[in-house]
Amino acid sequence: MRVGIGYDVHKLVENRDLIIGGVNIPHEKGLLGHSDADVLLHAIMDSILGALSLGDIGKHFPDNDPKYKGANSLKLLERVGNLIHNKGYKVSNIDSTIIAQRPKMASYISKMRENIARVLNIDIDSINVKATTEEGLGFTGNEEGISSQAICLLIPIDKK
């Protein structure tokens, strides 16, 4: 069994879509980044890559590579999911947290879980997504950015 943790943060800016967990969330600002800046999926990918000892998303999808400009992070997650199988593992579970003062995430979490489970081809009960505020403290509390943390457990594929 292998465990990995991931963290990501992006700045909130005007004239960008807010995409978290593959869901376009209505909000007056979006996250700044080379790709779609999906903090949740980026943290999840980093947790998986860490568990596999394969570096981080910057190594696999560099932000100076034009082919990843505006990339859909669900597609990137799918590529990371292929690495799990290729290394002889499968996802046991993923637990993640979105840290944002606004917007409230509760009504979007079930769709985020569905997206992640579908792309990784795992049971939705293996995915947990939570959201919290920081009570107005720090950069997330001041609505300057949104961050996310994730941890995953990978287990060997049962080769019968």
Task: Quote the pTM value.
Answer: 0.95
Which of residues 138 and 98 earns the better pLDDT score?
98
Question: Residue 55 is part of which domain span?
Answer: 2-156
Which domain CATH number covers 135? 3.30.1330.50
Supply the DSSP string of the chain, one letter for each residue.
-EEEEEEEEEEEESSS-EEETTEEE--S-EE-SSS---HHHHHHHHHHHHHTT---HHHHS-TT-GGGTT--HHHHHHHHHHHHHHTTEEEEEEEEEEE-SSS--GGGHHHHHHHHHHHHT--GGGEEEEEE--TT-HHHHTTSEEEEEEEEEEEE----
- Tell me: pLDDT of 24 over 90: yes
- Tell me: pLDDT of 160 over 70: no
- Tell me: pLDDT of 92 over 80: yes
Q: What is the dihedral of CA 76, 78, 81, 83, to 10 degrees?
A: -60
| Residue 80 region by backbone torsions, left for phi larger than 0, else alpha for psi between -120 and 50, else beta | alpha
Annotated binding site: 8-10, 34-35, 42, 56-58, 61-65, 100-106, 132-135, 139
Which token pair is 67?
């082919």
Annotated binding site for a divalent metal cation: 8, 10, 42
Number of structural domains in the chain: 1
